[in-house]
Chains A and B, each alone.
Chain A
């Protein structure tokens, strides 16, 4: 009953004209970002955060969250029409979506992708609404040892799942932790790794690092490849037939379930979830030979999974302050920039914001379903903007965003440096997500560790004597060993 009351309060916030406007803007930008290959939601959110600092916290978070789930809607457009995924979460949609387009069913593929995204997003939200209060009650019992173990679990799972090499993932995470240490130590007030420079006293801003690692590096990578050509085909009718719905409904339901459950786990990105969902659908299908040749279930399931995953990711973010992906890590930064501390206290102290954002996600899903289909011809036109114009334009906007964080040209140099580092990391197969997660969680992890050791008088046994902490560490250990086993088998 309390949950229903809170949700109604959330809708009262989300349906205010100002909030509707920012939800709309975020959904539109998110879809655009999803459509345009080369600019992901994490980078887009990072670029927009400096511009959103003038907004109220609720409006800013509603807009940024809308960009995140809007990108999931938009990513399928280029997958289906160009065989180029607009987002990493849309890679799998290319397999059957593009085949459907080649068979003259581009409109149906786009239509079922949008409908699947809407249904799964809605189901995911129901899961979020009912799970979040339960997790908040659990999280209120956490102390420093539990927080340390939880954050370590999140990082460990992210390292285990990111990239082919566990050691490279670990190195990336540790580099992120060391970058987080740059600046003034909050406990002692002593400067660390600042080389005596004033600019380094504030450390490297997370937003600037994300812009460099994701947006700038992506432009460098895209500059290597020749321009793509749009599929010259008619979109055709957008509304699927009754038979299309019948065949997709099971796939949408299963995709939503898989997406939501896996989306709760830190480090499991929407991209991974879509592959799992597609694989499950193919295995249980009576016509598995049709997969890869234009099976509508091959579009419905992964598109549903990635949207349910975005809703699920909000559960640990809001209740525990634990982001499960790079985009949610950026959203966490946005919350902190607005003076909000994600975690169980956020639910009690900022009810209006939290439930307002949750309600706005449903409103945003409705907007995206209504907008997406009619706007497809516009997105197709935008895809014709040549990359020689788009790429440099993205770089200029990155510079503006980086400068806008602190009005300091030092941040532009940091962005450029991390752009080069991000490019080299991609080339050398070092995953970037562990670095970003570690950068964002590094301060909290260190504080929790130091507090725990102070409480226990220097004994690490405290992490084992607290049952919740021990449980998290056990899961982290199992996840690491499992990851090693899988790699050893390969």
Chain B
């Protein structure tokens, strides 16, 4: 924390809270719409849409209150959004995880894990490329041996293996 500066501004804080409040209101609107498609029933015989409609309505009220507070209040705690390297690391990991989920079915667990670990470990820019590859390979193989072999867990094997197995 001490080597990285977080820039705080009142306008930035309100923007984050405003966007969050609007997101809650949008979610509430969608929930109300979804509940409206269901049968509400009556008070003495509530059906599947009854409780979701109440919940969505309460969410809408909560969202509006948050929006008003975000636009008018000045005592909300500070929000520290990461900047520079910190932001890069979080985005790097999130995108890496996204790619991992995409590649798991076609490539299978071991290969996809190896690739993800290469991407994720290199996010810290701490090790040379060959050390990263070595760590990634050894961890991927170890995890394969523990989960797929020792614990007999059913993990994705990849399209090529499925093709070979005739699946």
Contact = CB atoms under 8 A, between A and B. Distances in A.
B126 A386 contact: yes
Contacts of B42: 458
Main DSSP-derived SS at the B contact region: helix
A403 B47 contact: no
A420 B94 contact: yes
Main DSSP-derived SS at the A contact region: helix
Given A177-B55, A223-B90, A399-B100, A393 B139 contact: yes
Given A51-B151, A167-B65, A395-B120, A181 B52 contact: yes
A89 to B, nearest CB: 22
Contacts of A174: 55, 58-59, 62
A391 to B, nearest CB: 7
A178 B55 contact: yes
A413 interface: yes
B156 A395 contact: no
Contacts of A315: none
A453 to B, nearest CB: 6
Contacts, number: 158
A370 interface: no
A226 B2 CA distance: 9
Nearest to A181: B52
Q: How large is the interface on A (under 10, 10 to 19, 20 to 34, 35 or more residues)?
A: 35 or more
B79 A458 contact: no
A412 interface: yes
A60 to B, nearest CB: 15
B97 A416 contact: yes
B139 A396 contact: yes
Interface string A382-416: 00001111011101110110011001010011001
Interface of A: 51, 164, 167-168, 170-171, 174-175, 177-178, 181, 185, 187-188, 190, 192-193, 216, 219-220, 223-226, 386-389, 391-393, 395-397, 399-400, 403-404, 407, 409, 412-413, 416, 419-420, 423-424, 427-430, 446, 449-450, 453-454, 456-459
Given A167-B69, A174-B59, A412-B104, 10 more contacts: A167-B62, A167-B66, A178-B52, A193-B31, A223-B86, A224-B86, A225-B1, A400-B147, A407-B154, A428-B20
| The 7 residue pairs across chains A and B that have the minimum distance between CB atoms | A458-B43, A458-B44, A392-B120, A388-B124, A185-B48, A224-B86, A171-B62
